[in-house]
Structure 1
Amino acid sequence: MSVLDRIGKKLLFSVDPETAHGLSIAALKCGVPVAARPPRDTRLNVDICGMSFPNPLGMAAGYDKNAEVPDGLLSLGFGFAEVGTITPLAQPGNPKPRIFRLEQDDAVINRLGFNNEGHDAAKARLIARKSRPGIVGVNIGANRDSTDRVGDYEKGVTCFAPLASYLTVNISSPNTPGLLGMQAREQLSELLSRVMAARAAASTQPPVFLKIGPDLSEAEMQDIAAEVLEQRLDGVIVSNTTTTRPPLHSRANGEPGGLSGTPLFERSTAVLARMRKFLGPQCAIIGLGGVNSAETALEKIRAGADLVQLYTGMIYAGPSLPGQILNGMVRILDKEGVASIDKLRDSRLDHWAGKQI
């Protein structure tokens, strides 16, 4: 960690997590030079779903909920940024406090509940940046009190299809009551068929990804994979936060909500590998959960991911983390004599698919 990152971390950790998050967004809005942009290396290029990514590392949804700073995130070196989760109507989310740092575990528990400013606010910001380069995905969700949650996702597709590089259907947050139930096959079938119909009716048809949770049984994973293939989605994001609790050491470890960070790495990577087995080699997968180094990012790729995302890792390592990871990837490619990062995909698929969850 750089001196600047250490100073920034001390400052941000002196206030509550939600205030710290707001300060980091403000810094990116102002264009504060919080990290040097890492060098480009064409061996890190990834081409999937008709998109050309300069590198496989992205910022996950949850950080830039309202599409305020996607270009600031790209300037840190990320190959892509995903904004959201965005619901049709603005909503405050769950009562505070609702974010808890588990410093001894390099983890976070959150129960935010899709707090965001709604479609209109995010749409205006994305229209304003439409002519700028860079891959920006939009993560869509349903309002907590919606009487037609599937309809909310249709609205998200209609609203953001002309503006998003890709769309993510998020049904895996544990912090909206009943949402996880949409991963069940019957509900999922209706959701995905209506989402894909909405995309077909839109003026542009960006790729559609489904974001799933890590707390699934083998049979549930097989059902999800079958629906993804039947409905011809472009890919899957594995995974959201977990409600399970591996051994933790921090005081706040009993707080309800979704756990992210280092303790999620093994479980999420094992689920990723199983999904690769069920989906086959063609469907795109983005790996998420516990990425905080070049080694963990590459292990997701070896387990079957085309791309990887992070969020919690940057809370602890600071804004220079994307550059550190990418430079570390280049060093590993040099050491192993690999001509392109996509050559590593699936090289440890059987190892991770065989892990006990």
Structure 2
Amino acid sequence: MILGLFRSGAIRLGARQGAGWGRVVPDGEHFWSLKSFAPDDAAALKSWLGEGQADQADIQPLDCSGYAPTRITITWSTPTGVFVAEPGLSKKQQAERNARRNSPETITEGKDQQYTPSVPLRADGTKWPEEAKERANASARSQLVLPGSSVRGALRTRASRIARTVLVGALGQELEDWSDPTVGVHDQLASDPSLVRDLFGTTEHRGALTVLDTVTRRVRKNPRRVTHNAGDRWTGGAAEGALYGEELWDQAWEPIVIELDSKRLLSTGAHSPERSLDRAKAAWCLLGLVLAELATGTLPLGSRGTRGLGQVEVSKIRISGIDWLGTEDGRGGREFRKRSDSPASGQAVARDLLTWLQEVNASITDNEAGGVTDITGWSTYLVESVKEDADA
């Protein structure tokens, strides 16, 4: 079975598996060797240890092929630019800025104009997904990267916000306050509703969702610098020597690729197959709502979102491998396109997606909410998560 899993490409090693890293591809058709020996006596054991000889044994890997994850491909652009800072240079920038602030020359005219801008994260040494690798140009080291972990974090935050909003409206009670400084990030992940944990996981187990790293198609030679000045909390004006900013490249990006392990999603929880399918459909509806908000342009990506960066315009969402939903789409999938060249046409993509999600939501048969009469369909399983936590 292990050999069969290696051959099918299902084995992943190392960290950042949620961003598509760590995939192992066997080298050749017969990538394994199996040997056996019989240490019947001291001489046989000494011979094997000394010469390493053993009898060749035969083994056949199980057939673990025939499974492909659900794939969501999002064609998008950004009118403002997407920025994810290089962490090493950000620390250097902070150190230099602190040194300038403590220097007596800081107030000298013109000195406050010198600062080290934050630069975007580059794809140096990155192992690309095959789709991006085929289109990568010769100057791959100059490509910028939008990490899958960054996109995945944005999607999880919005999914958690939607789920918690539904729970507050349905149950009429306040949920745990995450603004409490004693609540750590790991506690926040563990307290997410069950559908969010099914999709994105926790510190204890993997989720079903993987977001691959996204790279740029090309990098232009001349970036533009965006400069900011920190405010002085005492005077209310601009702080002396507190300039900071970023270097931005206006460029086109490859599509965002999201993979969903439907088998992992269907096996979550100790339920009957029918209820497990309904719970998986509920998780799919929650993910669809997040994608709809991304299509409308209300979900920024990357950092500096409060400074106007990270705006997204979605032109197409392509979904394949959704036969597990039991709909008529099968492996043909679904495709949602914008209807005009207007930036607001992403709303048309969202409307078509929401119309289809209503059909998926109507197919959920087991939607008993345990006495809560004003909540039905996919959101029933959010109420179920609260009840499971209470029982635990």
Q: Pick the TM interval, shorter chain.
A: under 0.3
TM (norm. structure 2) is 0.24
TM (norm. structure 1) is 0.25
Higher Cα radius of gyration: 2
